[in-house]
Amino acid sequence: MSPVPHNVPRSFYSFSQLVLNTCPLGFPQLTRRTKIAYFEVEILDAHTRKQVQVIDKVHPSSTVLDLKNRFHKACPQWYPSRTGLRVDRNGPFLKDSCIIHTIASSSLVTLYFTDLGRQVSWSTVFLTQYFGPLLIYLMFYFRLSGVYGETKSNRHLAVNLACFCHSLHYIRHLLETLFVHKFSEGYTPLQNMLKGCAFYWGFTAWLGYYVNHPLYTPPYFANKQLIPSTLCFLFCEAGNLCINIVLAQHNQAGNKSHFPRSTSNPFTWLFKLVHCPQYTYEIGAWLSLTVMTQTVPVAVFAIMVSIQMMLWAKKTHNKYLKQMKNSSCQRMAVIPFIL
């Protein structure tokens, strides 16, 4: 027998190291899946504090709207639009886009439920409020039977211009509601829409009856009063449309680091002086219509609309000032250099 070489143990050791390095022994390491911590939402009545429903296995990324839909499946009588949920009994209602994990302090989330009553969408509110005045005013303008009785008197130029301007105003509002404005999430109670309709429809019937009456007295200065007021009205309507388009683009961009700014469009240059130029143009339009028609009902409506616009503008002005602490206060709310 031939002797075994001395380098055999070393060769076997090298071969074993090669095998271990190329093909490591052991089982592949399994990837661990993180467990999702679901929430359990307890819904209590805000008035009685009694438990209404418990919704389990709520995903952390679920929204309040998702929660309302599941609540509606469990309690079909409570529609999502009329369901109000709050963290505190007297706190603000949660927005539909609110994420559940942002309001949860433990695995059990307690929310208080309030029945908001019948709700309607914001687009329905504005379409109803603006379509009614358009239809009501035209009914008086064409002097339908039963409104003024049998009459064949011709309409004055002021009556025709007032009808054109009034109709143009509300047609613009309707088109902006359909194609320009982007309404915030949520709904509003039905009684709010009824209040708005009563205000706009009632005043339209009052001013429409007087302006289109067969015994209507035209403006004292005739064309010297009609032509400037008509041009001013058209200017304000065009400016209001341009401002609303800029505001819609600014809101879609979602940039809250600066105010809405003027563009190359001259109608938007009013942004350099006031925070709410849309209200400035709106007030100017109704004051122009007051001068054009020279009637008390139009003047009363213009005053009430102006007061409401000023209140809204002042509120928006204060909100902008809080958001932009380092901004200059050269801009006013609605009236340049005054208010």
Lowest mean pLDDT among 53-62, 175-184, 253-262, 311-320: 253-262
Quote the CA–CA distance of 289 and 161 in Å, as a whole number: 9
Same domain, yes or no, for 160 and 244? yes
Quote the CA–CA distance of 297 and 258 in Å, as a whole number: 40
Mean pLDDT score, 154-176: 95
Mean pLDDT score, 162-187: 90
Report the CATH number that the domain containing residue 69 is assigned in CATH: 3.10.20.90
Token pair belonging to 251: 């809101």
- Residue 55: pLDDT above 70? yes
Same domain, yes or no, for 203 and 297? yes
- The conformation of residue 269, written as its DSSP 8-state character, comes to G
Lowest mean pLDDT among 249-253, 272-276, 288-292: 249-253
Q: What mean pLDDT is reported for the chain?
A: 86
Q: Which residue has the tokens 């039905």?
A: 190
Same domain, yes or no, for 104 and 168? no
Mean pLDDT score, 256-270: 83
Q: In this structure, is residue 8 part of a structural domain? A: no
Same domain, yes or no, for 61 and 168? no
Q: In this structure, is residue 93 part of a structural domain? A: yes
Tens-digit pLDDT profile for residues 91-110: 899 988 899 989 988 889 99
Most confident of 7-11, 55-59, 187-191, 293-297: 293-297
Token pair belonging to 175: 């088109």
Quote the CA–CA distance of 333 and 314 in Å, as a whole number: 5
Q: In this structure, is residue 13 part of a structural domain? A: no
User: Left (φ > 0), alpha (ψ -120 to 50) or beta: where does 105 sit?
Assistant: alpha
Q: In this structure, is residue 137 part of a structural domain? A: yes
Token pair belonging to 13: 């050791």
Length of the chain: 339
Helix (H, G, I), strand (E, B) or coil at 51: strand
Please, which residues have CB within 8 angstroms of residue 9's CB and are 6 or more apart in sequence?
none
Q: In this structure, is residue 294 part of a structural domain? A: yes
Contact 104, 176 (CB under 8 A): no
Same domain, yes or no, for 153 and 284? yes
> Among 184, 42, 174, which residue's Cα sits nearest to residue 113?
42
Going 55 to 59 to 60 to 64, the CA torsion angle's sign is negative
Tens-digit pLDDT profile for residues 192-210: 999 999 999 999 999 999 9
Quote the CA–CA distance of 262 and 268 in Å, as a whole number: 5
Confidence at residue 1, expressed as pLDDT on a 0 to 100 scale: 45
Contact 278, 187 (CB under 8 A): no
- Residue 9: pLDDT above 60? no
Number of domains comprising the chain: 2
Same domain, yes or no, for 299 and 268? yes
- Residue 14: pLDDT above 70? no
Confidence at residue 325, expressed as pLDDT on a 0 to 100 scale: 67
Please, which residues have CB within 8 angstroms of residue 64's CB and are 6 or more apart in sequence?
85, 94, 95, 96, 97, 98, 100
Helix (H, G, I), strand (E, B) or coil at 233: helix
Confidence at residue 4, expressed as pLDDT on a 0 to 100 scale: 46
Same domain, yes or no, for 173 and 194? yes
Q: 274 pairs with which residues across the strands?
A: 332
Most confident of 137-146, 291-300, 325-334: 291-300
Name the domain boundary from 117, 139, 162. 117
Contact 60, 38 (CB under 8 A): yes
Helix (H, G, I), strand (E, B) or coil at 331: coil
Same domain, yes or no, for 198 and 75? no
Same domain, yes or no, for 113 and 145? no
Name the domain boundary from 62, 85, 117. 117
Same domain, yes or no, for 161 and 84? no
User: What is the span of the domain harbouring residue 169?
Assistant: 120-324
Q: What percent of the chain has pLDDT over 70?
A: 84
Q: In this structure, is residue 9 part of a structural domain? A: no
Q: In this structure, is residue 26 part of a structural domain? A: no
Quote the CA–CA distance of 321 and 326 in Å, as a whole number: 9
Terminal-residue alpha carbon distance, the chain: 117
Greater model confidence, 33 or 184 = 184
Same domain, yes or no, for 124 and 112? no
Q: In this structure, is residue 33 part of a structural domain? A: no
pLDDT band at 305 (very low <50, low <70, confident <90, very high): very high
Name the domain boundary from 88, 117, 146. 117
Same domain, yes or no, for 176 and 311? yes
